[in-house]
Amino acid sequence: MIEHRESHALQAMTVSFRRGVRADDDAVDRIDGSFTTDTIVDVRDTDEGFVLCEVAVSPPIVKHFPDDADNEEGEPVRFVAIDPQGHICGSIDVVYVEWNRRLTITDIKIVPTRRGRGLGRRLVDLAAAHGCELGARTLWLEVTNINAPAIRAYRRMGFTFCGLDTSLYRGTPSEGEIAIFMSKDLTGNGS
């Protein structure tokens, strides 16, 4: 297992990172942001609140995200990962909301062949550092309950559950899915 981690760490080091520019938009838009999973996070409503449980699904679910317009406050900032051949192989978009000092991850994409190699963590770390420079207290994101692999990855990165919305996707192609909100403290003191 240690050799496997070291191999991924070495592969991640061959990728460089920089702040994105408008000229990156087409390359980022071409990244396949879909995922396939054989596990979802089932959200059950109980008298005491909600319970989250991982549940196997068969056949696996393949999820494709529709293109959507930015509707967040503020101007998004993008960071990109570039492979040794100069191709963009990952990106993260964030928006800072000043009134509550929250940096929101609005999109994160990793080329499928580069997933599981630490690029997502490095991009999240860049976003968090950017948030700290702005004075953000929290790094926040929304993820669908059917993306169990991403939820596990975010938890390994220090994100915790902070809420859910059973109606956010109503009337959309994601009808029936549940939005799970996760956050990560950027202040170092848990507040």
The helix, strand and coil proportions of the chain, stated in percent and rounded to the nearest 5, come to: 25, 40, 35
What mean pLDDT do residues 37-48 have?
A: 81
Higher pLDDT residue, 60 or 186? 186
Domain boundaries, the chain: 2-185
CA distance linking residue 89 with residue 31, whole number of Å: 7
For residue 9, pLDDT beyond 90: no
CA distance linking residue 156 with residue 7, whole number of Å: 18
pLDDT band of 14, cuts 50, 70, 90:
confident
Closest C-alpha to 183, from 109, 97, 105, 80 = 105
For position 34, what pLDDT does the model report? 83
CA distance linking residue 85 with residue 15, whole number of Å: 9
For residue 1, pLDDT beyond 50: no
**Residue 180 half-sphere exposure toward CB, CA atoms < 13 A:** 25
Most confident segment among 1-5, 23-27, 120-124 = 120-124
Give how far Cα 43 sits from Cα of 52, 120, 146, Å.
5, 25, 10
Q: Which H or E element spans position 160?
A: strand 160-165
Name the average pLDDT for the chain. 86
What are the pLDDT digits (tens) for 75-126?
A: 899 999 999 999 999 999 999 998 899 999 999 999 999 998 999 999 999 9
Q: Which H or E element spans position 70?
A: none
What are the pLDDT digits (tens) for 121-171?
A: 999 999 999 999 999 999 999 999 999 999 999 999 999 999 999 999 999
Residue position matching structure tokens 């070291």: 6
For position 66, what pLDDT does the model report? 64
For position 154, what pLDDT does the model report? 96
For position 52, what pLDDT does the model report? 83
Rounded to 5°, angle at Cα 14 from 96 and 188: 35
pTM: 0.76
Q: Superfamily for 2-185? A: Gcn5-related N-acetyltransferase (GNAT) (3.40.630.30)
Closest C-alpha to 142, from 112, 169, 114, 113 = 169
What mean pLDDT do residues 36-45 have?
A: 84
What mean pLDDT do residues 13-28 have?
A: 87
